[in-house]
Amino acid sequence: MRGRKWEYPQNMATAKIHSRETMGALDGPGIRYVLFMKGCPLRCAFCQNPDTWASAGGETLSARDAAADILKYREFFDASGGGFTASGGEPLLQPEFLAELFSILKGAGVHRAIDTCGYVELSESVKKAARLASLVLLDIKHLDGAGHEKLTGKPNARVLEFLEFLSREDIPTHIRAVLINGVSSGEEYISRLANFLKKYPNVKRVDLLPYHDLGAKKWEALGLRYRLGDSAFVPRQDALRALEILQNAGLDATLQ
């Protein structure tokens, strides 16, 4: 794809950006250029980036300028099988920007991923952005509506509706599931999760993420009360058992 020309859209959307990482290794395959975008509809008890919640502030960036900077790193993408990831916050809160940026990057042959909580309205612009993605990294905070609301402040109906859309469109998806002791790490819950995810052939992998409190200091700096304590940490043997259950169900699963 090197040397191929593409045309920029005529009307470039802009987005509010919190920060960027040019050599990310945890947000999709290979080495990634990651844009952390401003704004999030959820208030997850274990969030490690509460400084991205507010939609105001940050850097204003056009899709054209973002693409120009991203493409400086394409040699690293080509060598590692990497690409670009939109993260946050919630990137699909700014779908027009994302769709235009993905259109440019697709024309340039760059892999495109969305790291999303899935709590979005399925507008046409959201659908367009998702259809232009090479991969969606979707968080499943909790299968139960009440459990999801307790952890995030919102029920999970929109998240599950978004997963159904990704399935209908056959968009490759990796599920991310945080393991919280006594909440989302028990054998019964993980078995339910495995049976639920087996219905979706577009789900190519499930990544289990044991709870950590690396974001706690950010909460304190923002004057927020961090709600989870030491009891939320998952014993190693429980995390390994959760991995075993998913793999025995035929799912490609990892323990991060």
Task: Tell me the pLDDT band of 2, cut-offs 50, 70 and 90.
Answer: very low
* Residues 169-188, mean pLDDT to the nearest whole number: 97
Q: Of 28-42, 45-59, 99-113, 198-212, where does mean pLDDT reach its minimum? A: 45-59
Q: Which of 190, 191, 232, 194 is nearest to 211 (CA)?
A: 232
Ordered domains of the chain (ranges, CATH): 14-255 (3.20.20.70)
**Averaged confidence pLDDT in the chain:** 94
Pairing assessment for the beta strands 59-62 and 14-24 based on DSSP bridges? antiparallel
* Residues 216-226, mean pLDDT to the nearest whole number: 93
Count CB neighbours of 221 within 10 A.
10
The pLDDT of residue 3? 46
The string of pLDDT tens digits covering residues 122-142 is 999 999 999 999 999 999 999
**With contact defined as beta carbons under 8 Å apart, do 141 and 178 qualify?**
yes
Q: In degrees rounded to 5, what are phi and psi of residue 181?
A: -55, 130
Task: Tell me the pLDDT band of 219, cut-offs 50, 70 and 90.
Answer: very high
Highest mean pLDDT among 52-56, 57-61, 127-131, 221-225: 127-131
Task: Tell me the pLDDT band of 7, cut-offs 50, 70 and 90.
Answer: low
Tokens 């219905």 correspond to: 199
Amino acid at 256: Q
